[in-house]
A and B are shown apart, each in its own frame.
Chain A
Amino acid sequence: MSWVASACVGFVRACAVLVVSMLVPAVWAAGVALAIWWQNPWTWIAPLVWVCVGTLLLVRPVCRMVRSLVARWTGTVIPAGYREMGPVTQMSTGYWWNGYSYEKSQRDARKDLELRVRWKDPANLRDLKFTAFLAVTAGLAAAVPPAGVVAAVVGFARSIPLLGVAGVLVAVASAPYAWRAFGPVAVRFLRPSASMALADRVDELTVQRADATVAQAAEIRRIERDLHDGAQARLVALGLSLATAEKLMETDPRAAKALLKEARVGAATSLSELRELVRGINPPVLNERGLVDAVRALAMDSPLETTVSAGGELRLDPPIESALYFGIAELLTNAVKHAHADHAQISISHDGTGIVVVVEDDGRGGARVDDTGGLGGLRRRLAAFDGTVELTSPADGPTRARMTVPCESL
């Protein structure tokens, strides 16, 4: 029974493969037929135009169909790797810049960009090659069962029983297998080539580098401002108090003493300001103890009841530790501020390929990662190390965030 079923399914699939893979060859066949039928020396132009336009228009839809069929039948998702359209921005001159040229309107800029992206995509050549290759491999293989059926019909209609029986046998025997070349061929020849993957990676890294530079510059500006308005100003005031106290020492020792006390309080305040600043740059306990103990210290200070579990001793690169630490701090702050949680759980472990940090709270959920918020910042910070953050936060909670950073040196 199951064999019959697989033969039927196989036959249907073989027909589908045949249709998809023969679309472009059919256009060519039609062109050639047209040229032969229209016996005029100048009319080769019309078939040529027909063939070129037909091929160019069909290639991408055919590849798209192949991808979806492979995904449906074998579960293998083949990444398309087509170029994405970049953003179109209005310049101060009022013109629109699409990365290639200036246009008067946003619509023109988009159209221009679309054309450029569509026709300069290295994926086009790959698609073209694949379509040709598909027809002569998987296409021909898939043609066997339908050909058997045709032979059988012809054989019985013309009363040539031998041909009829042979046709049925071929069709039935080949049906379960004839479509199977389709998957491997598509996976092998339709995936993005190495150079396309590299180009994608370059784009990704360019964006990350820009993000990192912007974030770093903002951070340095913040530190400069904090130092300038805080510690520096306080030290000036401190020197002033001391100078005045020195002057008053002889004439008014009482006032001098008061000033000295003021100076001492000022020094204590600037110290605690500096401490907060340092904690924001790089928490000392992270430097002294590494990620796990720093997170334990963080959990102890949190108003939530927080448990920390860690699998073994982890010594990571300091930048990764820092990114993960601030990520956890951000998530805990959110759990208190937005989710109104009472408990939180943090687990730090490694799964062979990288480090995995999971932060869960029992709050009211509904958190989202958007580009402007703290979670967006967290995602960008982790992306610099090829890390990711996944967030599950249904409307009534709980919230679960999973951060991963690949590292080899574990």
Chain B
Amino acid sequence: MRIVVAEDLYLLRDGMVRLIEAYGHEVVATATTGPETLDALRKWRPDVSVIDVRMPPTQSDEGLRAALAARHEVPGLPVLILSQHVEQLYARELLTDGASGVGYLLKESVFEADQFIDALERVAAGGTALDPAVVAKLLSSGSSNKRLDRLTEREQSVLGLMAEGLSNQAICQRLFISESAVSKYTTSLFGKLGLADDDTSNRRVMAVLTYLGLTGS
């Protein structure tokens, strides 16, 4: 894959590039500021980009703004946002256009290198990767709390992993259960929530996120 890395801190940028290259992907460009990021995204149209939220010149949410602007110009341009903290607010802004190919993870998710690269590939393929911390906040926030009472504990954890963007196969590996058990849980929880099950994994994810009130549509 051709990847753009946008991160202002040298050590992190360098480490990220090394990690990505160790997994056999190519970093075509790096950026250290918001405007640079936007230029690189426009110029390279990468298969996926890894972008830090806070960057110069304002040290506010430059990276996020650049990613949103680029996706506005090129709908569905895959971006993976990394941050020291995760906010539902930002996740909502990223997902609100309903286009696919969005990732939003805590920076320390790179510690689990396999899972991080997996998320990167998923986003590049038009999937979704949401940090468990965002999903946990989402599931416990006021509006969803009561609606999810009907689900069993297992169903709730399957729903959570689904909201993170995982496929059935990935879910069964995480929970150490068979794939048929996972599809049993998904069928029952979709029935309870009144959602239409969809075979395409990412449309299913979007349905879940919409149900949880994270996307606009």
The verdict on A303 contacting chain B, using a C-beta distance below 8 Å, is yes
* Pairwise interchain contact B142-A304, C-beta atoms closer than 8 A: yes
The verdict on B87 contacting chain A, using a C-beta distance below 8 Å, is yes
* Pairwise interchain contact B88-A289, C-beta atoms closer than 8 A: no
* Pairwise interchain contact B141-A284, C-beta atoms closer than 8 A: no
Interface string of A104-138 (1 = CB under 8 A from B): 00000000000000000000000000000000000
Of the candidates B89, B108, B143, which one forms a contact with A285 in the assembled complex, judged by CB atoms under 8 Å apart?
B89
- Contact flag A305-B108 (CB < 8 Å), given A275-B85, A285-B89, A300-B137: no
Q: Across the interface, name the chain A residue whose C-beta is closest to B64.
A: A288
The verdict on A271 contacting chain B, using a C-beta distance below 8 Å, is yes
Interface string of B77-90 (1 = CB under 8 A from A): 00000001101111
* Pairwise interchain contact A303-B87, C-beta atoms closer than 8 A: no
* Pairwise interchain contact B88-A297, C-beta atoms closer than 8 A: yes
- Interface majority SS on A: helix, strand, loop or mixed? helix
* Pairwise interchain contact A284-B145, C-beta atoms closer than 8 A: no
Docked Cα-Cα span, A264 to B140, in Å, equals 28
Docked Cα-Cα span, A48 to B54, in Å, equals 80
CB contacts (< 8 Å) of B54 on chain A: these are: 284, 288
Q: List A267-299 residues whose CB lies under 8 Å from chain B.
A: 267-268, 271-272, 275, 278-279, 284-285, 287-289, 293, 296-297
CB contacts (< 8 Å) of A275 on chain B: these are: 84-85
CB contacts (< 8 Å) of A303 on chain B: these are: 140-142, 145
- Contact flag A284-B89 (CB < 8 Å), given A264-B111, A267-B108: no
Interface string of B156-180 (1 = CB under 8 A from A): 0000000000000000000000000
- Contact flag A289-B141 (CB < 8 Å), given A268-B111, A275-B85: no
The verdict on B4 contacting chain A, using a C-beta distance below 8 Å, is no
CB contacts (< 8 Å) of A297 on chain B: these are: 87-89
CB contacts (< 8 Å) of B108 on chain A: these are: 267-268, 271-272
Interface string of B81-112 (1 = CB under 8 A from A): 00011011110100000000000000110010
Docked Cα-Cα span, A267 to B110, in Å, equals 12
- Contact flag A301-B141 (CB < 8 Å), given A287-B60, A289-B61: yes
- Contact flag A296-B60 (CB < 8 Å), given A302-B141, A306-B142: no
Distance of A257 from chain B, by nearest CB (Å): 14
Docked Cα-Cα span, A300 to B135, in Å, equals 12
Total A-B Cβ pairs within 8 A: 55
- Contact flag A284-B142 (CB < 8 Å), given A271-B108, A289-B60, A300-B137: no
* Pairwise interchain contact A278-B141, C-beta atoms closer than 8 A: no
Distance of A294 from chain B, by nearest CB (Å): 9
The verdict on B189 contacting chain A, using a C-beta distance below 8 Å, is no
Of the candidates B53, B107, B111, B145, which one forms a contact with A288 in the assembled complex, judged by CB atoms under 8 Å apart?
B53
* Pairwise interchain contact A284-B143, C-beta atoms closer than 8 A: no
- Contact flag A284-B85 (CB < 8 Å), given A303-B140, A303-B142, A305-B143: yes
Q: List A37-72 residues whose CB lies under 8 Å from chain B.
A: none
CB contacts (< 8 Å) of B111 on chain A: these are: 264, 267-268
Q: Across the interface, name the chain A residue whose C-beta is closest to B53.
A: A288
Of the candidates A267, A271, A288, A306, which one forms a contact with B60 in the assembled complex, judged by CB atoms under 8 Å apart?
A288
Of the candidates A285, A296, A302, which one forms a contact with B142 in the assembled complex, judged by CB atoms under 8 Å apart?
A302
Q: List B43-70 residues whose CB lies under 8 Å from chain A.
A: 53-54, 59-61
* Pairwise interchain contact A296-B141, C-beta atoms closer than 8 A: no
Interface residues of A (CB under 8 A from B): 264, 267-268, 271-272, 275, 278-279, 284-285, 287-289, 293, 296-297, 300-306, 342-343
| Further pairs besides A284-B54, A284-B84, A288-B61: 8, Cβ < 8 Å | A264-B111, A267-B108, A278-B84, A278-B85, A285-B89, A288-B54, A301-B137, A301-B141
In the A-B complex, the 10 residue pairs with the smallest Cβ-Cβ separation, listed nearest first, are: A305-B142, A300-B88, A297-B89, A288-B61, A288-B60, A297-B87, A271-B108, A304-B142, A284-B85, A268-B108
A-B contact pairs, 11 of them (CB 8 A): A264-B111, A268-B111, A271-B107, A271-B108, A284-B54, A288-B54, A297-B89, A300-B87, A303-B145, A305-B143, A342-B142
